[in-house]
Amino acid sequence: MRLTDAALGRATLARQLLLAREEVAVPDAVRRVGALQAQEPASPYLALWNRVAGFDPAELDRAFADGDVVRATLMRITLHAVHREDWAPFHRAVTDPLRRSRLGDRRFAPARLTTAEADEVRDTLLAFAAEPRTQDEILAELARVLDGERAPAAWFALRTLAPLHHVPTGPPWSYSPRARRYRAGAPTAPDSAPPGDDPATVHLLRRYLAAFGPASEADFAQFTMLRRRFTGPAVAALRDELVVVEGPGGAELLDLPDAPRPDPGTPVPPRLLGMWESIVLAHRDRRRVIADEHRSHVIRRNGDTLPTVLVDGRVVGVWRATADGVEAAAFEPIAPGAWSALETEAAALRAFLAEREPVVYGRYRHWWDRLPRGDVRRLAG
C-alpha cells in the first residue's frame, strides 16, 4: 500500500510524541524523539512542553546540569539537545560535514593551519577544556598556543568540529548566547572521517528512522548533511532489518519494522511549536508536515525557522509571543474548532512562558512584518 503525505505525517508525529502529550521522563523523551533543535536556548523547552504531559522546565534544567541531556553542535552543523548516550555516536557519525564545513571555510584561512596542525590544536584545546571554560578563556589559551591574530580563526573552526559540550550557564533556558561555556567530551572520531558503515553512522540512521521515519536515504542525508558515500553503506548495513514502504509518487522509504504507522485519519491536536522545530527540518521532502508553498514563509533564507502553528498535523501558520499575549498568523483557513483549541494552547503557553521569558524569540520579531497577509488573531492576552 502506498503511504500518503497524511500517513507519513501521522507516523512521524506519533514518534515525535505529538499525537498526544505523554507521561515520560525528560531524558527518555529526548531519546525517543532523537534530537531537539537547540539553536535558540528556549526551543528544547518548548519542544518538550508540546510533547510531555505536565512538563516541568526544571526537569530539563536538571537534565542539562547533570549531563543526562547534552547540547552540542551535531546534525546540519547546528546545535541540538540529545540524550547523553546518543551524543558520542551522533558526533562521530557527522564528523565529515563538521570538518568540511569549517576547515574548508575562508573564515578559517587566517589561522594558517594545515588539517594535521588543526587536529593538534584541537587536542590541546580538549585538554584545556577538561574543566568548563568560558569562550574568553579558550580564546586566551588559543592565543597562547598560536598567536593573538590566528586564535579567532582557529576557534571559528574548533568550536564546531571539536567534541565540545555546551555547559549550562543558568536561567531562563540554561544557556545564554552572551555567556557561553564549553567542556570537552570524549574524543569521538579519528582524524580522518569514518566510513559510512561505521557503527556510529548505522546507529544514527537507526535512531533517525525511529524518530522521523518512514524516510528515504535522501531524507537522512538532509537531516545529517552526510554525503552518499556515508549514507549508502549505512543503509546497506541496516537493509536486512529494515522494511521498505512506498511513499507518495512511488518513492522508496525505509523504516523499522515495529515503528508506529497510524491510520492517516488519526486525530492530531493543534500545537504551537517552537523555532527550529525538528519535524519541519528533518526531511528533504517535507510535504508530510508543511506544504511547499508555505516553506519559504517558515524557513527563511538565512536559515531562521519560525515558530509554527500545527493543525491536523500540518503547518498552517506561525505565531509570536508579545508583551500582552500570543498571536497567530494563518497561511490558510482554520476551522473555528481548531481556533478554539489553539486559544487553549496559547493560554497554557503564556502561563508556561511567564516565569521564564514571556516574549520568547523577541529578537526575531522582524520576520512578522514580512509574512503574507492572512488571518491574524490574538489567541491569548
Please compute the mean of the pLDDT values over residues 258-286 and round it to a whole number: 96
177 pLDDT tier (thresholds 50, 70, 90): confident
Break the chain into its structural domains and give their ranges: 1-262, 290-380
Mean pLDDT of the chain: 94
First to last CA, the chain: 46
Our measurement of the distance from residue 375's CA atom to the centroid of its chain's CA atoms, rounded to an integer in Å, reads 29
In the structure, what pLDDT confidence band is assigned to residue 186 with cuts at 50, 70 and 90?
A: confident
Give the model's pLDDT for residue 1: 67
Any bridge partners for residue 180, and if so which?
Answer: none
- What is the pLDDT confidence band of residue 199, given thresholds at 50, 70 and 90? very high
Distances (CA, A) of 223 to 140, 207, 212, 218, 281: 35, 12, 10, 9, 7
Q: Which of 281, 346, 287 is nearest to 313 (CA)?
A: 287
Judged against a pLDDT cut of 60, whether residue 193 lies above it is answered with no
pLDDT number for residue 240 = 94
Is it the case that residue 6 has pLDDT exceeding 80? yes
Confidence of residue 302 (pLDDT cuts 50, 70, 90): confident
pLDDT surpassing 70 at residue 194: no
Query: What is the percent of the chain where pLDDT is above 70?
Result: 97
In order of 34, 43, 47, 200, 310, the CA distances from 86 in angstroms are: 8, 19, 18, 9, 28
Residue 373's pLDDT is 73
SS (H, E, C) the chain: CECCHHHHHHHHHHHCCCCCCECCCHHHHHHHCCCEECCCCCHHHHHHHCCECCCCHHHHHHHHHHCCEEEEECHHHCEEEEEHHHHHHHHHHCHHHHHHHHHCCHHHHHHCCCHHHHHHHHHHHHHHCCCCEEHHHHHHHHHHHCCCCCHHHHHHHHHHHCCEEECCCECCCECCCCCCEEEECCCCCCCCCCCCCCHHHHHHHHHHHHHHCCECHHHHHHHHCCCHHHHHHHHHHHHHHCEEEECHHHCEEEECCCCCCCCCCCCCCCEEECCCCHHHHCCCCCCCCCCHHHHHHHECCCCCECCEEEECCEEEEEEEEECCEEEEEECCCCCHHHHHHHHHHHHHHHHHHHCCCCCCCHHHHHHHHHCCCCEEEEEEC
Cβ(73)–Cβ(35) under 8 Å? no
Q: Are 347 and 380 in contact (CB under 8 A)?
A: yes
Asked whether 94 and 78 are in contact (CB, 8 A), the reply is no
User: How large is the average pLDDT for residues 344-350?
Assistant: 97
Hey, what's the cell of 33?
524523539
Section 13-31 average pLDDT: 98
Tens digits of residue pLDDT in 46-55 = 999 999 999 9
Give dist(CA 41, CA 45) in Å, integer: 8
pLDDT tens track for 208-257: 999 999 999 999 999 999 999 999 999 999 999 999 999 998 999 999 99
pLDDT over threshold 90, residue 188: no
- Determine the pLDDT at residue 148: 82
- 33, pLDDT greater than 90: yes
Convert the pLDDT of each residue in 100-124 to its tens digit: 999 999 999 999 999 999 999 999 9
Plot region of 67 (φ>0 → left; ψ -120 to 50 → alpha; else → beta): left
Q: Taking each helix axis from N to C terminus, what angle separates 228-238 and 217-224, rounded to the nearest 10 degrees?
A: 130
Cβ atoms 313, 13 nearer than 8 A = yes
Comparing 73-87, 181-195, 304-318, 336-350, which segment has the lowest mean pLDDT? 181-195
Could you read off the pLDDT of 38-47 as tens digits, one per residue? 999 999 999 9
Is pLDDT larger for residue 352 or for residue 381? 352
Mean pLDDT in residue range 291-297? 93
